[in-house]
Structure 1
Amino acid sequence: MRLSNRNKASVYNFIHTLLLMMVIFGITAFLLNEYRFHAVGKVSYGFILLPVMLLVIFHLNGRQIFEYDSDGEALNFKNRNIIPFLDRPLHDEFPKYKLISYEIVKLFSFKRLYITISSKSSGATILKYEISYLSQKEVNDLKLSLNKVVKANKEKND
Structure 2
Amino acid sequence: MRLSNRNKASVYNFMHSLLLMLVVFGIAAFLLNEYRFQAVGKESYVLLILPILLLVVFHLNGRQIFEYDSDGEALNFKNRNIIPFMDKALHDEFPKYKLIRYEMVSVFFIKRLYVTISSKNSGSTILKYEISYLSQKEVNDLKISLNKVVKANEEKND
> Do they fold alike, i.e. is TM over 0.5?
yes
- What is the rounded CA distance, in whole Å, between the counterparts of 2:36 and 2:110 in structure 1? 41
* 2:148 paired with 1:148: yes
Determine whether 1:25 maps to 2:25: yes
What is the one-letter code of the residue matched to 1:148? K
TM-fit CA distance, 1:18: 0.3
Instruction: After TM superposition, list the pairs within 5 Å mapping 1:127-146 onto structure 2.
Output: 127-146=127-146
Task: Flag structure 2 segments of 5+ consecutive residues without an equivalent.
Answer: none
The two structures have a TM-score, normalised by structure 1, of 1.00
Runs of 4+ in 1 over 4 A off after TM superposition: none
Structure 1 residue 39 corresponds to structure 2 residue 43: no
Aligned to 1:77: 77
2:132 paired with 1:121:
no
The alignment status of 1:7 with 2:11, answered yes or no, reads: no
Tell me the CA shift for residue 41 of structure 1.
1.1
How many matched pairs?
158
**Could you say what secondary structure the match of 1:12 adopts?**
helix
SS in 2 for 1:133: coil
Residue deviations 1:11-33, cap 9 Å, x none?
Answer: 00000000000000000000100
Specify the SS of the correspondent of 2:11: helix
The two structures, once aligned, show a CA RMSD in angstroms of: 0.3
* Matching of residues 101-116 of structure 1 within 5 Å: 101-116=101-116
Distance in 2 separating the partners of 1:6 and 1:58: 17
Aligned equivalents of 2:112 and 2:31: distance in 1?
Answer: 39
Q: % of aligned pairs identical?
A: 82
Could you list the per-position Cα deviations for residues 17-52 of structure 1 after superposition, in whole angstroms to 9, with x for gaps in the alignment?
Answer: 000000000000001001110010111111010000
Give the letter for the 2:19 counterpart.
Answer: L
Post-superposition CA distance 1:86-140 (Å, at most 9, x none): 0000000000000000000000110000000000000000000000000000000
Tell me the TM-score normalized by structure 2.
1.00
* Gaps in structure 1 of 5+ consecutive residues: none
SS of the residue 1:54 aligns to: helix
Q: Give the SS at the match of 2:118.
A: strand
CA distance in structure 1 between the aligned counterparts of 2:107 and 2:36, rounded to whole angstroms: 43
d(CA) in 2 for partners of 1:38, 1:146: 58
CA distance in 2, matches of 1:36, 1:108: 40
